[in-house]
Homo-oligomer: A and B are copies of this chain.
Amino acid sequence: MKIAVIGLGQMGEHMAERILDAGHALTVYNRTAARAEALRARGATVAATPAKAAAGAEVVVTMLADDTAVEQVVFGADGILPTLGSGVHVSMSTIGVAMAQRLVSAHTGRGQRYLSAPVFGRPEAAAAGKLYIVVGGDESIIDSVQPLFDVVGQRTYRVGADATAANLIKLCGNFLLQSMVQAMAEAFALVRKAGIDPARFKDIMTSSLFNAPAYHTYGDLIAAEKDDQGGYTASLALKDNRLALAAADALQVPMPFASTIHDQFITAMARGYERRDQSVLGRIAAENAGIGDGSR
């Protein structure tokens, strides 16, 4: 297939590599052009604008940081909307439901094809082709893009014709993840202050009730206070929290946990922790309990 990948952050770059390795013809675009050079060396074509990247592609993947970046790449000057033609726009970024709806409307209005296909997984999973893909949109379009999904993901979940459902499910999944992190943050602060080794507590929990990858990953990060090593920054996590709250506001669903998480991430921002991993919630909880590196 002729595939374009727009957005070469940690996730997009790994996905592009896998697409190349699988033998597809790849064109890439990134706002900061230097990030595209390694892929050029491996055989990718580097486009000067999103519009040029999209021209002639069968599938255009967008993997961008936030709604604003998607807006520019799609609707902005040199955006993909005029050049997409018969290609499929596959939006894999974590974006808001309202923005996804705008994409649906814009593409549908022009007779273009569109899928929402956000993913679960950290950059390591992207590098290994082990992402979980949640895809919404027309079944036949999904069929046509499935080979791409199989290259970057270990499993694809089809959630129906309404593409935005995929986006909401992604936001809700991230919310579950953040809730797990905040719950561990509080529990770890409590056991630590009681003189119990948090790593021991983590071992007990993850070998009994919570033997799931997410608990292992984040339990280790919080217990060892390694929030400087994560790939999912507090800034991004706060963005996703805002998107979940916006979706909940629009649908009139109160989410007290999401509100609490919002306040905790805002505190993290105010303390200058925006570049740390989202497991920085563990640091905030510890500081508020008067323990940890940063406690007074």
Which residues of A are in contact with B by a Cβ distance under 8 Å? 97, 120, 132, 134, 155, 157, 159-160, 162, 165, 168-169, 172-173, 175-177, 179-180, 182-184, 186-187, 189-191, 193-196, 200-201, 203-205, 207-215, 242, 244, 247-249, 251-260, 262-264, 266-267, 269-272, 285, 288-291, 294-296
Contacts and interface: CB of A to CB of B under 8 A. Distances in A.
A176 B244 CA distance: 22
Given A169-B201, A172-B190, A177 B257 contact: no
B270 A288 contact: yes
Contact of A254 (B182, B194, B255, B264): B264
B177 A179 contact: no
B208 A155 contact: yes
Nearest to A192: B253
B182 A257 contact: yes
A176 B209 contact: yes
Given A155-B208, A212-B215, A266-B248, A186 B289 contact: no
Contacts of A182: 179, 257
Contacts of A168: 190-191, 194, 196
A250 to B, nearest CB: 9
Contact of A290 (B179, B183, B252, B259): B252
Given A159-B200, A172-B201, A190 B253 contact: yes
Contact of A120 (B208, B260, B262): B208
B270 A263 contact: no
B176 A184 contact: yes
B254 A210 contact: no
Contact of A272 (B172, B258, B290): B290
A258 B187 CA distance: 10
A176 B205 contact: yes
A120 B204 CA distance: 10
A153 B157 CA distance: 37
Contacts of A205: 173, 176
A291 B271 CA distance: 9
Contact of A252 (B159, B179, B269): B269
Contacts of A254: 262-264, 266-267, 270, 285, 288-289
A201 to B, nearest CB: 6
A255 B263 contact: yes
A151 to B, nearest CB: 18
B251 A190 contact: yes
A190 B250 CA distance: 10
